Amino acid sequence: MVIFGASGDLTARKLMPALYNLALNRYLPAGFSVIGVALTPWTEQEFKTHMSEAATKYSRTQPVDRSVWQSFAEGLHYVAMTFDDMDGYGKLAATLDRLDRERGTGGNRVFYFATLPQFFAVIVDRLGASGVARAGEGWKRIIVEKPFGHDLKSAQELNRAIHAVFTERQVYRIDHYLGKETVQNVMVFRFANGIFEPIWNRRYVDHMQITVAEDLGIERRGAYYEKAGALRDIFQNHLLQLLSIVAMEPPANFDAEVVRDEKVKVLRSIHPINVETDAVRGQYGPGWVAGEQVVGYRQEDQVAPDSKTETYVATRLFIDNWRWAETPFYLRTGKRLPNRASEIAIQFKKAPHLPFAKTAVQDTSPNLLVMRIQPHEGASLKIAAKIPGPVMRLRTVNMDFFYGSSFLIESPDAYERLVLDCMLGDPTLFAREDEVERAWTLVDGVEAGWAAQPPPALPNYAAGTWGPEAADALMERDGRRWRRP
Amino acid sequence: MSGEHGQVSTRPVVDVHAIEEELAEVRWKLRPDGEMDEAAQHAAAEARANVLNLIVVVEDESGMEHVHRVLDGLSTHHPSRTLILLAQEERQAVKLEASVSAQTRTDSGHRVTTEQVLLHAHGQVAAHLASLVSPLLVPDLPVMLWWPGRPDFESQLFNELADLCDRLVVDTDDRGVEPGRDFPLLLNVARRRKARVAIGDFNWARLMPWRHLMAQFFDPPSVRSRLISAHGVTVWYGGEGSNAQALLLAGWVQSRLAAIGVPIPRELRYDPGLPHGVSRFMLYTGGEDGVSRFSIARAPGGRLTTQMRIGDQEQLGRTVAVAPRSADDLLAIELTIPGHDVLYEQALEAAVG
Ligand SMILES: NC(=O)c1ccc[n+]([C@@H]2O[C@H](COP(=O)([O-])OP(=O)(O)OC[C@H]3O[C@@H](n4cnc5c(N)ncnc54)[C@H](OP(=O)(O)O)[C@@H]3O)[C@@H](O)[C@H]2O)c1
């Protein structure tokens, strides 16, 4: 595996710990080697030291097993170069050849683009021009980090640049949400449990709410976030991915292309979003989150004091197909909300007839199924039950199921799963070209609509609250309310 | 398989995720098969049944004991996530501490688990405890706020908690509650434009037998027709403390009659020699055959007696035993009432009118 951006944050926090844990669980093939590429003029030894520190600090399993690390670290190498330097690719090619000979890596290569998006096209181009992309035997694959473009045009350009060198089958676009066990569990939940599929449609489902809520602010990512905003940062990828998984037709089998075909069909069926009625943007002001006083977005580092960037988005979507016609899907994401929670909530319609006295059922709410992605992975089902006692009175009971309490079972990190899938040649959990482009088309539509409107007065929600009032109004107009996740 | 098992854990540093993990761990240890090998742990998906979130605000340590006693009596029928807030904004040193506990009872034949989180805050953060409460609530379940004593209506804490909850439970008979000042404040809470909160009042539940007996007088249609000519209500009360009970009872009669277009005045009579609370409750009506009087009075032994005089005919009265309600009974009643209690809110409104 060649990591472009090996001295960066992602490599230290996610990639190295993932690779180490794969080694620990014996998932890595014999002779597996890593060549780190970045600008920092490290020696091979310095690279190993930094990676060892990263694994020690960020591994989900502790303590780090020294003997496993030692043998894994034997395969670590480093090439200092700039991404556009053709001589550097010569050095890289030589190192790869040497590893093929010495460690028997057989010409199989993963090129991991763990660097800033503006370099993706350059790296692809140089990999092609230097012949590294095709050299020798074995398969060649690339893993491309998010964000994949910042609008449809840039995504298409990047796809074009990539396809000049690699075919689509060689491209693995990361959406780390898809690597999460619980997202995969959503599919299992739907398609392995016969009881849900028959009611998974417009006839029984009143609406769905998909929430990706963060209690954190933008941390140190101000410069990036100013240009991105919540719509590009979360909606374009995570929210739309969750939507397509929860709304897609059952695939005939779990082959990557079959599953991705179904997902893309959902994205294609989404009705263009009318920003006047169906999209709300917000930005947080100062407030309190979890007992802590926090600053507003405009006071964050590297953020303009009059920034118009949105840190909150809520939308109402309709999917124009037989299964979902006229069923609203409400999607929202935001920073500095009261709670960290990623959830899909399916609100079923009221029971058609309630054979109880009117008073008994006054306040029972219809069934609600919630699939929790993080934290506290699991599902919960809201059902009506009788209050103990002689009178027929009903109330709501929540049955919560936890897939495994985090202190007991360490579920593998998304990156472990994704890196392994790539090495095994399974792209199911990666975004395909047409998925990415379709998602950008939707986002571009919203951006264009917003650009044509004066922005709302910002900030319009206090940190620690559930977003702007307009988002509540979006629901109330339909006689509905956002859940409290 | 009976009795109860408890687990407690205290943590000085407050981090929502740490609190949740701690609760999960404490809950897990309560399992009858708590000692499982790793394979069994992987296999077991944990299930939890809950019916509500209960937030309790306590002003000082001395109030804790009472609260704990009441909550203990509750748990069997109301598996809940309970958050107890000891919020002391006026204390100087900033402090924020959480302790968690879980309790399982099997005496009902089922395993019922109640989770409890105690949040103890001093200083500025005490005013903003709602920001910590919010992420700790179990989603999709009603949120009840029980505030023993007089709620601090103007405080930030009260208003932010009210935004979170579906029902505010108070006891207007508590010391410190002044009906003239506080009834309108309660009404405001129930009628806020956003996040309307239903109000529950222990005092209202205590008055239930008085209300039932008064209503029963008018079950026969011949008597019911007299309501049109009602012209006054008198409530005697005594002892120390507030007249909230008497006011609510009179307000109830006034609001019910106003609803059928019969506005009547009320008279409250105070007698310091009487025990605390309502002692006697009378409704007067007119009619062709003269003035009628419907009366309920407290009798020795915790009983109520009724009397009805129509014209100059004294009717046979009856005496009913009324078991005093304990605080946990009263709270349990409140926790099962869905939505707004319109009759209560109208009584409250009439009482301040
Ligand atoms: N960090 C995360 O947790 C995270 C999460 C999700 C997605 N991502 C995505 O992952 C990617 C990398 O993010 P990051 O946070 O790791 O970024 P980063 O910390 O800024 O790392 C950038 C890396 O690229 C190298 N680099 C930059 N310009 C170069 C050049 N001209 N020639 C050679 N090397 C160059 C840097 O090397 P030197 O430092 O040696 O100059 C560094 O190793 C981004 O696409 C990001 O969106 C990151």
Task: Spell out the domain ranges in chain B.
Answer: 4-165, 205-321
Which residue numbers of B have CB closer than 8 Å to A's CBs? 14-17, 20-21, 24-25, 28, 41-42, 45-51, 77, 96, 121, 124-125, 128-129, 131-132, 134-135, 137-142, 164, 336, 338-339
**In tens digits, what is the pLDDT along chain A, a chain of 485 residues?**
999 999 999 999 999 999 999 999 999 999 999 999 999 999 999 999 999 999 999 999 889 999 999 999 999 999 999 999 999 999 999 999 999 999 988 899 999 999 999 999 999 999 999 999 998 889 999 999 999 999 999 999 999 999 999 999 999 999 888 888 778 888 888 888 888 889 999 999 999 999 999 999 998 899 999 999 999 999 999 999 999 999 999 999 889 999 999 999 999 999 999 999 999 999 999 999 998 899 999 999 999 999 999 999 999 999 999 999 999 999 999 999 999 999 999 999 886 666 665 554 455 678 889 998 887 778 888 877 777 666 666 777 777 776 654 444 556 788 999 999 999 999 999 999 999 999 999 999 999 999 999 989 999 999 999 999 999 999 999 999 999 88
Alpha-carbon span A265 to A262, nearest angstrom: 5
**DSSP reduced 3-state for B186:** helix
Q: What distance in Å separates residue B225's CA from the closest CA in chain A?
A: 27
The Å distance, Cα A229 to ligand 1 centre, comes to: 19
Where do runs of H (alpha helix) occur along A202-329?
222-230, 240-247, 256-269, 275-278
Share in percent of chain B as helix, strand, coil (round to 5) = 35, 30, 35
Task: Spell out the domain ranges in chain A.
Answer: 2-145, 178-413+423-476
* Contact call for B21 and A407, based on CB within 8 A: yes
CB < 8 Å to B132, chain A: 290-291
Alpha-carbon span A441 to B339, nearest angstrom: 44
Residues A6, A111 contacting (CB under 8 angstroms):
no
**DSSP reduced 3-state for B353:** coil
* Contact call for B48 and A399, based on CB within 8 A: yes
Q: What distance in Å separates residue A147's CA from the closest CA in chain B?
A: 28
For chain B, the distance separating the N- and C-terminal CA atoms, rounded to the nearest angstrom, is 55
Query: What pLDDT was estimated at residue A159?
Result: 97
Half-sphere exposure of B322 (CA within 13 A, CB side): 23
Instruction: Give the H/E segment covering residue A190.
Output: helix A181-192
Q: What distance in Å separates residue A62's CA from the closest CA in chain B?
A: 17
Alpha-carbon span A239 to A331, nearest angstrom: 7
Tokens of A231: 């719509």
Question: Which of B137, B128, B92 is closest to A293 using CA atoms?
Answer: B128
**Topology (CATH level 3) of domain A178-413+423-476:** Dihydrodipicolinate Reductase; domain 2 (3.30.360)
CB < 8 Å to B51, chain A: 385, 395-398
CB < 8 Å to B50, chain A: 397-398, 400
Of A339, A396, A400, the CB nearest to B47: A400
Nearest atom within ligand 1 for CA of residue A115:
12
Q: What distance in Å separates residue B310's CA from the closest CA in chain A?
A: 35
Nearest atom within ligand 1 for CA of residue A13:
3
Q: What would be the CATH architecture of the domain defined by B205-321? A: 2-Layer Sandwich (3.30)
Query: What pLDDT was estimated at residue A408?
Result: 46
Alpha-carbon span B261 to B271, nearest angstrom: 32
Ligand 1 pocket, A122 CB below 6 A? no
Q: Which residues pair with A281 in a beta bridge?
A: A313
Alpha-carbon span A306 to A283, nearest angstrom: 11
Instruction: For ligand 1, pick from A37, A39, A119, A143 the residue to mutate: most ligand atoms within 8 Å of CB.
Output: A39
Ligand 1 pocket, A116 CB below 6 A? yes
Ligand 1 pocket, A114 CB below 6 A? yes
Ligand 1 pocket, A144 CB below 6 A? no
Top residue of A408, A461, A466, A481 to mutate, by most chain B CBs within 10 Å, is A408
Residues A183, A411 contacting (CB under 8 angstroms):
no
Instruction: For ligand 1, pick from A9, A142, A178 the residue to mutate: most ligand atoms within 8 Å of CB.
Output: A9
Name residues of chain B where pLDDT drops below 50: 1-3, 42-45
Residues A383, A399 contacting (CB under 8 angstroms):
yes
Top residue of A182, A380, A386 to mutate, by most chain B CBs within 10 Å, is A380
Long-range contacts of B20-24 (CB under 8 A, 24+ apart): B20/A375, B20/A376, B20/B136, B21/A405, B21/A406, B21/A407, B22/B100, B23/B100, B23/B102, B23/B115, B23/B117, B24/A376, B24/A402, B24/A405, B24/A406, B24/A407
Instruction: Label the pairing between strands B313-315 and A2-4.
Output: unpaired
Residue A426 has φ and ψ, to the nearest 5°, of -110, 105
Top residue of B15, B41, B131 to mutate, by most chain A CBs within 10 Å, is B131
Query: What pLDDT was estimated at residue A138?
Result: 92
Question: Which of A18, A56, A13 is closest to A34 using CA atoms?
Answer: A18
CA dihedral B230, B232, B236, B242 (to 10 degrees): 110
* A365 to A258, A322, A350: CA distances (angstroms): 37, 27, 7
The Å distance, Cα A144 to ligand 1 centre, comes to: 12
- What residues contact A44, with CB distance under 8 A and at least 6 apart? A76, A77, A78
Report the Cα A344 to chain-centroid distance in Å. Answer: 14
Closest-approach residue (CA) in chain A for B96? A291
Residue position matching structure tokens 């909300």 = A337
Q: Which residues pair with B55 in a beta bridge?
A: B83, B145
Ligand 1 pocket, A145 CB below 6 A? yes
Q: What distance in Å separates residue A456's CA from the closest CA in chain B?
A: 21
Report the Cα B131 to chain-centroid distance in Å. Answer: 24
Residues A142, A124 contacting (CB under 8 angstroms):
yes
Q: Is A77 a residue of the active site?
A: no
Report the Cα B206 to chain-centroid distance in Å. Answer: 10
* Contact call for B135 and A340, based on CB within 8 A: yes
The Å distance, Cα A38 to ligand 1 centre, comes to: 9
The Å distance, Cα A145 to ligand 1 centre, comes to: 10
Long-range contacts of B154-160 (CB under 8 A, 24+ apart): B155/B89, B155/B127, B156/B127, B156/B128, B157/B57, B157/B85, B157/B87, B157/B89, B157/B126, B157/B127, B157/B128, B157/B129, B157/B130, B160/B128, B160/B130, B160/B131
Q: Which residue's CA is the closest to the ligand 1 atom numbered 21?
A: A8
* Contact call for B141 and A378, based on CB within 8 A: no
Q: Any CB–CB contact under 8 A between A202 and chain B?
A: no
Crossing angle of helices B244-259 and B342-352, rounded to 10°: 110
Query: Right CATH number for A2-145 from 3.40.50.720, 3.40.50.1000, 1.10.10.10, 3.60.10.10?
Result: 3.40.50.720
* B41 to A63, A374, A397, B37: CA distances (angstroms): 22, 20, 25, 6
* Contact call for A289 and B131, based on CB within 8 A: yes
Q: How many CB atoms lie within 10 A of CB A72?
A: 23
Task: Please report the beta strands in A133-276, taking only residues with DSSP state E, as ranges in sequence order.
Answer: 140-144, 171-173, 205-213
Nearest atom within ligand 1 for CA of residue A224:
47
* CA angle, residues A402, A408, A411, in degrees to nearest 5: 75
**DSSP reduced 3-state for B201:** strand
* Contact call for A483 and B50, based on CB within 8 A: no
Alpha-carbon span A179 to A419, nearest angstrom: 9
Instruction: Label the pairing between strands B52-58 and B4-11.
Output: unpaired
Report the Cα A274 to chain-centroid distance in Å. Answer: 25
The interface residues of chain A toward chain B in range 434-473, judged by CB-CB distance below 8 A, are 464
Question: Which of A123, A116, A297 is closest to A224 using CA atoms?
Answer: A116
Residue A37 per-residue DSSP state? E
Tokens of B286: 């007119």
Of A339, A378, A385, the CB nearest to B134: A339
Q: Any CB–CB contact under 8 A between A373 and chain B?
A: no
Residue type, A364: T
Per the residue annotation, which of A238, A271, A353, A376 is the catalytic one? A238
Top residue of B134, B138, B335, B342 to mutate, by most chain A CBs within 10 Å, is B134
Alpha-carbon span B255 to A419, nearest angstrom: 70
Residues A304, A227 contacting (CB under 8 angstroms):
no
